[in-house]
C-alpha cells in the first residue's frame, strides 16, 4: 500500500508532530483490559489486519520521513547512539537483509531491492536513496550495515549475540528510547540490561522471557507491546539528553495536558537472525496525545482506569509521578463508569 | 514443527562418499533461495515412508553463504528408527522431501579467541560449516578429525582446501589417536572447543577437558533437542470428547492435532508455555521433558506440556 | 527511576578455591590480602599439588607489600609479584593473561573499583563467569560514569556527586556496566533545577 508521508513534522523545538484520523484509529493500544500489570505477553509476529500496525513485519507509516530526519539529527549530535562490537558484523548484515527484504516486499512502491548474488541494489524513494553495494563487504556502504539501514527505518534496533545460555546486547541503533542508554548498556547480558525495570525480576518475567527467546526460531518472529508516557511528542527521551527534557515533566498543567502528554506505545519485534544466530529486537514507538486518544471514547475510559489504578513502582519507573494526577483529571470526564468491551478495538 | 513451517525440497545430487555415508544436495522445489544459516546448524528432514513419517535432524555441512542448495550427509545406522535407511535405500536424485528451517544448537562463540574443532566420523558435518564461518574471520582455529581408515574419511579434499595446515587427520587403522592431553593442556585463554562424534569420543574429550580445568562455558558439543520418542499411550480429550492414541515416535501434541484439535503453541520445544494443558485425571505417571514447568508443577501431575512430554499410564484425561 | 536494587549491580561472594581449575591466578588490593591468603591455605589443604600452579599479583602500601609477600609465599603461592600502584598491577596482569592457559581461574579481592578494572581486562581475554571469582573488601567507593558527557569520576563515596568534567550534579544509581567498569550517574535535578538532596556519604 502507498503511504502519504508528512515530511515536515518535528519531534523537538516546535513539536509539530500530529496523528491523522487514520493514524489514530490504527494506534496500537496496549491495554486489553481496564488494568495493567506486567505479563510475558509475547505472541507470534504474524501478519495482522489490513491497515493495522501489524499488517506487515515492519510498519512504515505517515511519520516515516520525519522520523528518519529526527534520527539523523540525533546521530549528528551524538554518534554513540549507534554502536556495534566487532564480532557483530554478520548480525549487522542479517539485519540489513531483514529490513531491506521486508520493506521492498511490503511497500514495493516505496522501496526496491535487486539481488544478483552478492551484488545488491537498494532504492528508497521516500528518502531519495539509490545504493549499489556488495552484500558482506562493509567497504561498499557509506556506513556500517546496521547503521546504514536503521537510518532508513523507524524505531530502535538492538542486536543480541547468543552464547553461554544468555543474550548479550552488543550492537544497536537507539535514538527514540524511553530513558535507557545503549552507550551504557552495550555489552550487558539480558538481565543486566533489564536491571532497572522494577518488580518484573521478582515476578520471574525475565527468567521466562530469556528462556523463551533462547529458543526463538528462524522464520518465526514474535512481538509484544510495552508502553510509557512522554511529555511532548519527543522521540529522543534518552538519559544522555535528560538534562534537556527532564523539566518537561513539570510543565504539565490542566490547560495543556491534552496536547502535551502522550501515550507512548512500543511495538517490540524479535527475530532470530540466520547467519549470526543472534536475535534482533526492534522497538517501534507510537505516540498519541491525550486529546487524540480521547476521540475514541472506549480508549479514554480504558486509559483513565489504567492510570488511576497503576502500581506506584510502575508509575515511578515510567516517570509519571509529576503529572499522572493531571492526566487522570483530564480523562475522568470521558469515563462514565460503564463497562468497556474486552479487547482494544475502538468499538 | 507444523507442516506450514516446512520447505519442500528436491534431491539434486547424491554421492556415496564412504562405505557408510551418503552426501545429499537439496534444492527448494519452487526454485527459491534457501534460508541463510550459521555454522553448526541442523535441519529436520521429514521423510514420508510407506507406512510412517520419519523426522530426523541432520547438520548442514555446506557453505553458509551459498544458498542454492543445502548439503547433508547421512550415515547408515544399523539400529535406527529407519530414517537413515530410508535416506540410503529410497531417496535418489529427483526425490522430494520436506525440511524445517535451520536451528543452531552448536554455534561458535563469537568472542572466542581461538577455536578447536574435534570430529569423529560423520561428526565432521557441522564442523565443515563452522570451518566456513571461521574462514570469514581472522580468528585462529584447528581441526582434529578422527576416522577409522582413509576410506572412511569423508570430505577430506574439501577440508584440506579450506583448512590446509590447520587440518589434522587421525586414522585408527594406522594407530593414530588425537593426543587430547597435548591438545587441551596449553591452549591460550579464550579458546573454545567443539566436539561432534560418537558418544564415547565426546565423553572422553569432556573428561579430559575437565581434568585440564576447562570451564563449561568454553566446551561445546552437539546435542539435539526434539520431542523424545517413548511408549505408546492413550489420552482422552474431555472438551472434545475424543480418544487419541499416541504412537511411540510422535509427540502428544502432534497426535492431538492429527485428531483435529487445535492447541495454541509458539515454540513446540518445551519452552514457551503456550501449550501448557491441565491434566484432569491420571492413572500412571507423566514423563516431563519441558523446560517450562516448575519442579512442583511437574511433581503435581496436574499439568503437562504436550509438545515434548508424554505419559506412561492406564488413563489420562486432558482439559482440551 | 530505580536507584537501588538494580540487578546489574555485581554480586560478590566470599572467595573459596575452585577445584575444577588447574591454574590459580590471584589479584589483590590492600585488605584484599586476607581473602587471597584464605584461598591459598584452603587450596593447600584441598589440593596440595596445585600449589605449584598458583600466582599472586598484589598492590598495596610498602608495609602491605612486605608483609603480603612473605605471607603469600608462606601460604604456598608459587609466584608473587608486588606493586605500588594499581595501574602497574593491571598492566602486568594483561601480560600474564597473554601467557596463561585455559584451565586458569581468576580470584580478585579488593575495592570494587579496582576489581571492576581487573574484570574488564579479563573480559577482553574472554574469561567468563565460570572462570572468575571476586570478593569485595576495602573501600566501597565507586567509579561513576556521567551519562551526559561520557566521562568517569573516580572514588565517589556520596549519594550525589558533581561530574568532574561537565560539573552536573549526578545521582549515583546501582546500574553497573562491566564494559565501562562504572556505575551510571544521571543528572539529579534535571526535572526541577536546583532541587538536590543533601550530599551524604553512602559508599564509605
Predicted local confidence at residue B77, as pLDDT: 77
**Residue A220 to residue B5: CA distance in whole angstroms:** 9
* φ, ψ dihedrals at B11, nearest 5°: -75, 120
Cβ of A164 within 8 Å of Cβ of B217? The answer is yes
> Are A200 and A224 in contact, with CB atoms under 8 Å apart?
no
In the predicted model, is pLDDT for residue B267 greater than 80? Answer: no
A104-113 tens-digit pLDDT = 999 999 999 9
Question: Cα dihedral sign for C148, C149, C155, C156?
Answer: negative
Cell 592457559 appears where? C101
Cell 509519571 appears where? A320
Cell 491525550 appears where? A290
**Residue A35 to residue A305: CA distance in whole angstroms:** 7
A17-38 tens-digit pLDDT = 999 999 999 999 999 999 888 7
Cβ of A94 within 8 Å of Cβ of B36? The answer is yes
More confident residue, B109 or B135: B109
**Residue C190 to residue A179: CA distance in whole angstroms:** 13
Predicted local confidence at residue A55, as pLDDT: 96
Cβ of C1 within 8 Å of Cβ of A184? The answer is no
Predicted local confidence at residue A115, as pLDDT: 96
Cβ of B189 within 8 Å of Cβ of C102? The answer is yes
In the predicted model, is pLDDT for residue B284 greater than 80? Answer: yes
Cell 480521547 appears where? A294
Instruction: Tell me the count of B-C CB pairs closer than 8 A.
Output: 53
- Band the pLDDT of A128: cuts 50, 70, 90: very high
C103-139 as b/e: b if 16+ CB within 10 A: bbbbbbbbbbbbbbbbbbbbbebbbbebbbbbbbbbb
B121 Cβ neighbours under 8 A, 6+ residues apart: B75, B146, B147, B148, B152, B197, B198
What is the average per-residue pLDDT within B234-256? 90
CA angle (A215, A220, A224) in 5-degree steps: 85
B18-39 tens-digit pLDDT = 999 999 999 999 999 999 999 9
Residue in C63, C90, C78, C71 with CA at minimum distance from that of residue C33: C71
Cβ of C102 within 8 Å of Cβ of B188? The answer is yes
Give yes or no: A18 in active site: no
- Band the pLDDT of B79: cuts 50, 70, 90: low
Return the number of other C-beta atoms located less than 10 Å from residue B262's C-beta.
9
A225-237 tens-digit pLDDT = 999 999 999 999 9
Angstrom CA distances, A197 to A223, A318, C183, stand at: 19, 9, 16
* φ, ψ dihedrals at A207, nearest 5°: -60, -50
> Are C100 and C26 in contact, with CB atoms under 8 Å apart?
no
User: Nearest by CB to C23, which of B111, B113, B213?
Assistant: B213
**Residue A132 to residue A145: CA distance in whole angstroms:** 13
Report chain C residues whose CB lies below 8 A from the CB of A196: 1-2, 6, 8, 173, 175
C58: cell is 598484589
Cell 486529546 appears where? A291
**Residue A97 to residue B67: CA distance in whole angstroms:** 14
CA B37 to chain centre: 14
Residue in A37, A12, A28 with CA at minimum distance from that of residue A238: A12
What is the average per-residue pLDDT within A308-317? 89
The per-residue pLDDT of chain A, averaged, comes to 94
| Percentage of chain B modeled with pLDDT above 70 | 92
**Residue C45 to residue C39: CA distance in whole angstroms:** 10
Predicted local confidence at residue A197, as pLDDT: 80
C40: cell is 591459598
> Are A235 and A175 in contact, with CB atoms under 8 Å apart?
yes
| Percentage of chain A modeled with pLDDT above 70 | 99
C173 by Cβ neighbours in 10 Å (0-12 / 13-18 / 19+) ranks as buried
Cβ of A276 within 8 Å of Cβ of B110? The answer is yes
Choice among A195-199, A243-247, A313-317 with the minimum mean pLDDT: A195-199
What is the average per-residue pLDDT within A243-253? 93
> Are A70 and A17 in contact, with CB atoms under 8 Å apart?
no
Q: Hey, of A184, A199, A245, A319, which one would you mutate to test binding to chain C, going by the most C CBs within 10 A of its CB?
A: A184
**Residue A205 to residue C5: CA distance in whole angstroms:** 16
For the entire predicted model, the pTM comes to 0.90
A139-164 tens-digit pLDDT = 999 999 999 999 999 999 999 999 99
B295 by Cβ neighbours in 10 Å (0-12 / 13-18 / 19+) ranks as exposed
**Residue B155 to residue B152: CA distance in whole angstroms:** 10
Residue-level length of chain C: 204
| Helix/strand/coil percentages in chain B, nearest 5 | 25, 35, 40
Return the number of other C-beta atoms located less than 10 Å from residue B137's C-beta.
16
Q: Which three-class secondary structure string do you get for A292-330?
A: HHCCCHHHHHHHHHHHHCCCHHHHHHCCCCCCHHHHHHH
Report chain A residues whose CB lies below 8 A from the CB of C8: 188, 191-193, 195-196
Predicted local confidence at residue C94, as pLDDT: 98
Report chain A residues whose CB lies below 8 A from the CB of B64: 275
More confident residue, B56 or A14: A14
Cβ of B188 within 8 Å of Cβ of C23? The answer is no
C122: cell is 579479563
Predicted local confidence at residue B265, as pLDDT: 62
> Are B39 and B129 in contact, with CB atoms under 8 Å apart?
yes
What is the average per-residue pLDDT within B86-96? 95
Residue in A179, A178, A238, A245 with CA at minimum distance from that of residue A15: A245
**Residue C188 to residue C165: CA distance in whole angstroms:** 16
Catalytic residue among A25, A69, A115, A224: A224
In the predicted model, is pLDDT for residue B81 greater than 70? Answer: no
The per-residue pLDDT of chain B, averaged, comes to 89
A43: cell is 505472541
**Residue B266 to residue B264: CA distance in whole angstroms:** 7
* φ, ψ dihedrals at A316, nearest 5°: -65, -45
In the predicted model, is pLDDT for residue B59 greater than 60? Answer: yes
A140: cell is 561498499
C173 part of contact set with chain A, CB < 8 Å: yes
Predicted local confidence at residue A318, as pLDDT: 85
In the predicted model, is pLDDT for residue B251 greater than 90? Answer: no
**Residue A167 to residue A191: CA distance in whole angstroms:** 9
In the predicted model, is pLDDT for residue B225 greater than 50? Answer: no
Report chain C residues whose CB lies below 8 A from the CB of A195: 6-9, 174-176
Helix (H, G, I), strand (E, B) or coil at B245: strand
C72 part of contact set with chain A, CB < 8 Å: no
| Helix/strand/coil percentages in chain C, nearest 5 | 30, 30, 40
User: Nearest by CB to C2, which of A193, A242, A317?
Assistant: A317
ipTM confidence score: 0.92
Predicted local confidence at residue B269, as pLDDT: 60
Q: Hey, of A192, A249, A312, which one would you mutate to test binding to chain C, going by the most C CBs within 10 A of its CB?
A: A192
> Are A58 and A153 in contact, with CB atoms under 8 Å apart?
yes
Angstrom CA distances, B255 to A259, A324, B273, C77, C166, stand at: 55, 52, 18, 63, 66
Helix (H, G, I), strand (E, B) or coil at B252: helix
Residue in C70, C90, C101, C47 with CA at minimum distance from that of residue C181: C90
Residue in C182, C167, C156, C3 with CA at minimum distance from that of residue A243: C167
**Residue A302 to residue A337: CA distance in whole angstroms:** 10
Report chain A residues whose CB lies below 8 A from the CB of C129: 164
B238 Cβ neighbours under 8 A, 6+ residues apart: B280, B317, B318, B319, B320
Cβ of A249 within 8 Å of Cβ of C191? The answer is yes
Instruction: Give the H or E element holding residue C69.
Output: helix C62-74
Q: Which three-class secondary structure string do you get for chain A?
A: CCCCCCCCCCCCCCCCCCCCHHHHHCCCCCCCCCCCCCCCCCEECCCCCCCCCCCCCCCCCCCHHHHHHHHHHHHHHCHHHEEECHHHHHHHHHHHHHHHHHHHHHCCCCEEEEEECCEEEEEECCCCEEEEEECCCHHHCCCCHHHHHHCCCCCEEEEEEEECCEEEEEEEECCCCECCCHHHHCCCEHHHHCCCCCCCCCCCHHHHHHHHHHCCCCCCCEEEEEEEEEECCCCCECCCCHHHHHHHHHCCCCCCHHHHEEEEEEEEEEEECCCCCCEEEEEEEEEEEHHHHCCCHHHHHHHHHHHHCCCHHHHHHCCCCCCHHHHHHHHHHHCCCCCCCCCCCCC
Cβ of C190 within 8 Å of Cβ of A317? The answer is no
Residue in A204, A178, A176 with CA at minimum distance from that of residue A191: A204
Choice among A100-104, A130-134, B309-313 with the minimum mean pLDDT: B309-313
In the predicted model, is pLDDT for residue B258 greater than 90? Answer: no
What is the average per-residue pLDDT within C63-91? 96
**Residue A103 to residue A121: CA distance in whole angstroms:** 14
| Percentage of chain A modeled with pLDDT above 90 | 82
Predicted local confidence at residue B3, as pLDDT: 39
- Band the pLDDT of A46: cuts 50, 70, 90: very high
A50: cell is 489490513
Predicted local confidence at residue C46, as pLDDT: 94
Question: Which positions 107-146 of C are in contact with A (Cβ < 8 Å)?
Answer: 128-129, 145
Query: What is the nearest CA distance from B313 to chain A, expressed in angstroms?
Result: 30
Predicted local confidence at residue B224, as pLDDT: 46
The per-residue pLDDT of chain C, averaged, comes to 94
Report chain C residues whose CB lies below 8 A from the CB of A240: 147-148
Predicted local confidence at residue A13, as pLDDT: 95
More confident residue, C29 or A211: C29
Predicted local confidence at residue B268, as pLDDT: 61
Q: Hey, of C102, C129, C131, which one would you mutate to test binding to chain B, going by the most B CBs within 10 A of its CB?
A: C102
Predicted local confidence at residue B2, as pLDDT: 42
- Band the pLDDT of C4: cuts 50, 70, 90: confident
Amino acid at each position: 500500500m502507498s503511504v502519504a508521508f508528512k515530511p515536515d513534522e518535528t519531534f523537538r523545538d516546535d513539536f509539530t508532530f500530529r496523528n491523522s484520523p487514520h493514524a489514530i484509529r490504527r494506534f496500537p493500544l496496549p491495554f486489553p483490559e481496564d488494568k495493567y500489570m506486567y505479563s510475558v505477553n509475547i505472541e507470534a509476529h504474524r501478519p495482522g489486519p489490513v491497515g493495522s500496525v501489524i499488517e506487515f513485519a515492519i510498519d512504515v507509516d505517515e511519520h516515516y520521513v520525519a522520523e528518519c530526519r529526527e534520527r539523523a539529527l540525533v546521530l549528528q549530535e551524538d554518534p554513540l547512539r549507534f554502536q556495534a562490537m566487532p564480532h557483530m558484523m554478520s548480525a549487522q548484515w542479517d539485519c540489513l537483509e531483514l529490513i531491506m527484504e521486508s520493506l521492498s516486499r511490503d511497500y514495493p512502491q516505496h522501496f526496491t531491492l535487486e539481488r544478483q548474488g552478492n551484488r545488491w541494489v537498494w532504492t528508497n524513494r521516500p528518502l531519495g536513496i539509490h545504493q549499489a553495494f556488495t552484500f558482506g563487504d562493509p567497504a561498499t556502504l557509506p556506513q556500517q550495515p546496521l547503521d546504514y539501514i536503521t537510518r532508513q527505518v523507524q524505531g530502535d534496533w538492538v542486536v543480541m549475540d547468543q552464547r553461554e545460555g544468555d543474550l548479550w546486547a552488543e550492537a544497536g541503533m537507539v535514538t527514540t528510547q524511553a530513558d535507557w542508554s545503549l552507550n551504557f548498556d552495550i555489552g550487558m547480558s539480558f538481565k543486566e540490561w533489564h536491571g532497572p525495570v522494577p518488580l518484573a525480576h521478582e515476578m520471574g518475567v525475565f527468567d521466562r522471557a530469556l528462556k523463551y527467546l533462547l529458543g526463538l526460531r528462524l522464520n518465526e518472529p514474535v512481538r509484544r507491546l510495552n508502553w510509557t508516557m512522554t511529555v511532548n511528542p519527543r522521540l529522543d527521551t534518552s538519559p544522555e539528553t535528560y538534562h534537556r527534557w527532564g523539566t518537561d515533566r513539570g510543565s504539565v498543567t490542566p490547560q495543556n495536558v491534552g496536547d502535551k502528554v502522550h501515550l507512548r506505545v512500543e511495538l517490540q519485534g524479535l527475530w532470530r537472525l540466520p547467519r549470526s544466530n543472534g536475535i534482533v529486537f526492534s522497538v517501534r514507538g507510537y505516540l498519541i496525545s491525550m486529546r487524540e486518544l480521547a476521540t475514541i471514547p472506549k480508549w479514554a475510559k480504558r486509559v483513565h482506569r489504567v492510570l488511576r489504578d497503576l502500581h506506584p513502582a510502575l508509575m515511578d519507573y515510567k516517570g509519571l509521578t509529576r503529572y499522572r494526577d493531571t492526566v487522570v483529571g483530564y480523562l475522568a470526564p470521558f469515563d462514565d463508569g460503564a463497562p468497556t468491551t474486552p479487547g482494544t478495538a475502538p468499538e | 514443527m507444523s507442516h506450514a513451517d516446512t520447505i519442500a525440497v528436491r534431491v539434486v545430487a547424491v554421492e556415496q562418499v564412504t562405505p557408510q555415508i551418503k552426501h545429499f544436495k537439496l534444492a527448494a522445489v519452487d526454485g527459491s533461495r534457501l534460508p541463510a544459516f550459521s555454522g553448526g546448524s541442523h535441519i529436520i528432514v521429514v521423510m514420508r515412508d510407506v507406512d510412517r513419517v520419519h523426522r530426523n535432524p541432520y547438520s548442514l555441512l555446506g557453505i553458509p553463504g551459498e544458498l542454492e542448495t543445502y548439503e547433508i550427509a547421512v550415515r547408515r545406522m544399523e539400529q535406527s528408527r529407519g530414517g537413515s535407511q530410508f535416506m540410503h535405500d529410497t531417496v535418489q536424485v529427483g526425490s522430494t522431501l520436506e525440511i524445517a528451517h535451520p536451528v543452531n544448537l552448536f554455534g561458535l562463540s563469537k568472542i572466542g579467541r581461538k577455536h578447536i574443532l574435534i570430529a569423529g566420523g560423520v561428526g565432521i558435518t557441522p564442523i565443515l560449516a563452522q570451518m566456513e564461518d571461521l574462514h570469514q574471520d581472522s580468528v585462529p582455529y584447528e581441526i582434529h578429525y578422527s576416522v577409522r581408515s582413509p576410506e572412511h574419511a569423508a570430505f577430506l579434499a574439501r577440508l584440506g582446501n579450506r583448512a590446509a595446515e590447520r587440518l589434522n587427520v587421525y586414522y585408527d587403522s594406522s594407530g593414530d589417536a588425537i593426543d587430547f592431553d597435548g591438545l587441551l593442556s596449553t591452549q591460550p585463554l579464550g579458546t573454545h572447543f567443539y566436539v561432534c562424534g560418537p558418544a564415547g569420543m565426546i565423553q572422553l574429550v569432556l573428561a579430559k577437558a575437565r581434568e585440564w580445568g576447562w570451564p563449561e562455558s568454553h566446551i561445546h558439543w552437539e546435542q539435539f533437542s526434539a520431542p523424545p520418542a517413548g511408549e505408546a499411550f492413550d489420552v482422552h480429550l474431555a472438551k472434545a470428547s475424543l480418544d487419541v492414541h499416541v504412537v511411540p515416535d510422535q509427540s502428544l501434541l502432534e497426535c492431538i492435532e492429527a485428531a483435529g484439535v487445535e492447541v495454541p503453541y509458539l515454540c513446540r520445544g518445551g519452552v514457551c508455555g503456550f501449550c501448557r494443558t491441565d491434566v484432569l485425571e491420571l492413572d500412571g505417571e507423566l514423563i516431563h521433558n519441558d523446560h517450562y514447568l516448575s519442579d512442583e508443577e511437574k511433581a503435581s501431575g496436574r499439568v503437562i506440556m504436550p509438545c515434548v512430554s508424554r505419559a506412561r499410564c492406564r488413563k489420562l484425561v486432558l482439559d482440551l | 527511576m530505580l536507584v537501588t536494587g538494580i540487578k546489574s549491580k555485581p554480586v560478590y561472594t566470599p572467595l573459596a578455591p575452585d577445584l575444577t581449575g588447574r591454574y590459580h591466578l590471584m589479584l589483590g588490593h590492600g585488605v584484599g590480602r586476607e581473602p587471597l591468603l584464605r584461598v591459598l591455605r584452603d587450596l593447600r589443604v584441598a589440593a596440595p599439588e596445585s600449589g605449584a600452579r598458583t600466582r599472586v599479583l598484589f598492590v598495596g602500601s610498602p608495609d602491605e607489600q612486605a608483609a603480603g609477600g612473605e605471607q603469600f609465599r608462606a601460604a604456598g603461592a608459587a609466584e608473587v609479584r608486588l606493586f605500588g600502584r594499581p595501574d602497574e598491577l593491571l598492566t602486568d596482569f594483561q601480560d600474564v593473561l597473554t601467557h596463561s592457559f585455559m584451565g586458569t581461574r581468576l580470584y580478585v579481592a579488593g575495592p570494587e573499583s579496582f576489581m571492576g578494572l581487573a574484570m574488564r581486562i579479563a573480559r577482553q581475554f574472554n574469561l567468563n563467569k565460570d572462570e572468575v571469582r571476586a570478593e569485595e573488601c576495602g573501600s566501597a567507593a565507586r567509579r561513576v560514569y556521567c551519562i551526559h558527557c561520557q566521562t568517569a569520576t573516580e572514588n565517589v563515596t556520596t549519594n550525589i556527586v558533581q561530574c568532574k568534567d561537565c560539573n552536573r550534579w549526578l545521582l549515583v544509581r546501582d546500574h553497573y556496566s562491566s564494559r565501562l567498569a562504572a556505575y551510571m550517574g544521571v543528572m539529579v535535578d534535571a526535572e526541577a533545577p536546583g532541587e538536590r538532596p543533601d550530599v551524604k556519604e553512602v559508599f564509605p
